[in-house]
Structure 1
Amino acid sequence: MSSYEEGNDSKLMRKVKENPFVPLGLAGFVGIVGHQLYKMKNRGDTKMSVHLIHMRVAAQGFVVGAMTESCIQCTTSTLGTPKKSRTLENTIEQRLLQ
């Protein structure tokens, strides 16, 4: 494995650790689609188009739910940290130090 590929792997793992809901959403999407396709042979008298619409809505709902949960987690984590107050004195002091 080259150093370029190792860099991509570590970048991918870093992104997954930052936001674990994206792979969760994709895995749920694939799982729901796979389950519905497996269940397709026992759909009874339901039309194919209706079955496919239900499959798409369920998979899409799972992905949207994962994205919503990710946004809620991001919002609550950023709101919980206090902002650094910038007063006029701090600004002048920082410019003098530069």
Structure 2
Amino acid sequence: MTTPGPVTPGTPFEPSQPPVVEGISPSVYSTTESFKEKFLRKTRENPMVPLGCLSTAAALTYGLYCFHRGQSQRSQLMMRTRIAAQGFTIVAILVGLAASALKSRP
């Protein structure tokens, strides 16, 4: 077994530049997106995901409210509705992923 020699980098480290990794090229965006712009773009791409998230949150909130008031039957119904809304959201995410994967194919 041979001992490795000293490592001397070809170019000095520059903190303002992305590191150069063999086989990987960093993608540089021309403009940075704000949170609001990214949220609106993602919502336009797949509008069912925010709808599913809102319906899940609404069912959970109303179910907890009914539980607090002692309406156990309605609370159970809303928890089951929440599970259905979560399932809808997961399916919407998967359909959106499949659609974007098919769209990005040449």
Q: For the pair shown, which has the larger CA radius of gyration, 1 or 2?
A: 2
Task: Pick the structure with more helix per residue.
Answer: 1
TM-score by length of 2: 0.46
User: Per chain length, whose mean CA-contact separation is higher, i.e. which structure has more relative contact order (CA < 8 Å, sep 6+)?
Assistant: 1
